[in-house]
Amino acid sequence: MSNRDTVVVTGHQSEEKQNRIRAAAGERARVEFVSSLEDARDLLPEATAIAGGAPQGTLASAPNVRWVHSWAAGPDADLTDEVLHSDVILTSSVGNGAIPLAEHSMMLMLMLNREAMRWIEAQRNKRWDRFTHAELNGLTLGIFGVGHAGTDLAAKAKAFHMRVLGCRRRPEIAVPNVDEMFSLDRLHEFLAQSDVVVVTAPRTPLTAGVFNDAAFAAMKDTAHFICISRGGIADDDALLRALQDGTIAGAGIDAHGIEPLPEDSPFWGAPNTIVTPHNGATTAATASRGFEIFIGNVERFVQGKDLSNVVDKVAGY
């Protein structure tokens, strides 16, 4: 490691945050703040770290970069061919939005389970509409991708007296509050037992398009599908068919295949479907936790220590 690193930080940072980043870097690194990498062309040749991602072509202009940090929890957009085929360490903000994503999942579960849109419509029309609704107690929740958000969701679901199943790439790793773990090759068995399926997994080559016609056909026709992590894990056409023909009972979609969701998208009016604008983790606390992850890594980087939240480039997260 050189005696003095150059850390280029992109995006708007308040004066308070800038001071904290400089303090974390200390005398061992020079920190430069830019709105975007377009404004950092003169800095790239000497940069040793970049915060905010490195679009394709960046590393060709920054031969000394050893570390790239993504402000996002899901690093799929930052896994460019250039980064994949380099020795550059990529870190992410994974885990920063786990708590609000789990809360958002519970909100969507409750709204779908209790037909909350019916109450909202009745209120809009000033109509007193009482009906017999369901409850989450005793239902089985299937969590696809039991990482940070999935783990927090499992704990919340247990508080609602639900049975919790998990499906992940490494099912041998035990997770608190998960009653049974399934491998990806047992996906349909996992789906067949679930009353609610929540996708909290990152989008990777292994998960892209996993929820296809066959997957939705494996679900109960009374089951709800919820996606709060990344679009594209469910095939949009297959999901729409499942909703329209009653293969599943409804959906809560925060992460979409195309974002922003186009005005002419059929998902806006899909049967028993709640659409939110990839907004589940947009909280001040999420941003704060992400910033703390970065601050910790700045300190480790200048001290030559191993970084946290390192992305497995092969696995994709």
Tell me what percent of the residues of the chain surpass a pLDDT of 70: 99
pLDDT higher than threshold 90 for residue 76: no
Is the separation of the CB atoms in 67 and 8 below 8 Å?
no
pLDDT higher than threshold 90 for residue 22: yes
Q: Compute CA distances 230 → 7, 65, 113, 202, whole Å.
A: 29, 28, 23, 6
pLDDT higher than threshold 90 for residue 297: yes
Q: What is the mean pLDDT of residues 95-106?
A: 98
pLDDT higher than threshold 60 for residue 99: yes
Residue 229's pLDDT band (boundaries 50, 70, 90)?
very high
Q: What is the mean pLDDT of the chain?
A: 96
pLDDT higher than threshold 60 for residue 1: no
pLDDT higher than threshold 90 for residue 192: yes
Q: Could you tell me which residue, 104 or 316, shows the higher pLDDT? A: 104
Question: What is the per-residue pLDDT for 3?
Answer: 67
Lookup: tokens for 311: 């992305």
Question: What is the per-residue pLDDT for 132?
Answer: 98
Q: What is the mean pLDDT of residues 40-56?
A: 95
In three state form, how does the secondary structure of the chain look?
Answer: CCCCEEEEEECCCCHHHHHHHHHHHHHHEEEEEECCHHHHCCCHHHCCEEECCCCCCHHHHCCCCCEEECCCCCCHHHCCHHHHCCCCEEECCCCCCHHHHHHHHHHHHHHHHCCHHHHHHHHHCCCCCCCCCCCCCCCEEEEECCCHHHHHHHHHHHHCCCEEEEECCCCCCCCCCCCEEECHHHHHHHHHHCCEEEECCCCCCCCCCCECHHHHHHCCCCCEEEECCCCCCECHHHHHHHHHCCCCCEEEECCCCCCCCCCCCHHHHCCCEEECCCCCCCCHHHHHHHHHHHHHHHHHHHCCCCCCCECCCCCCC
Tell me what percent of the residues of the chain surpass a pLDDT of 90: 96
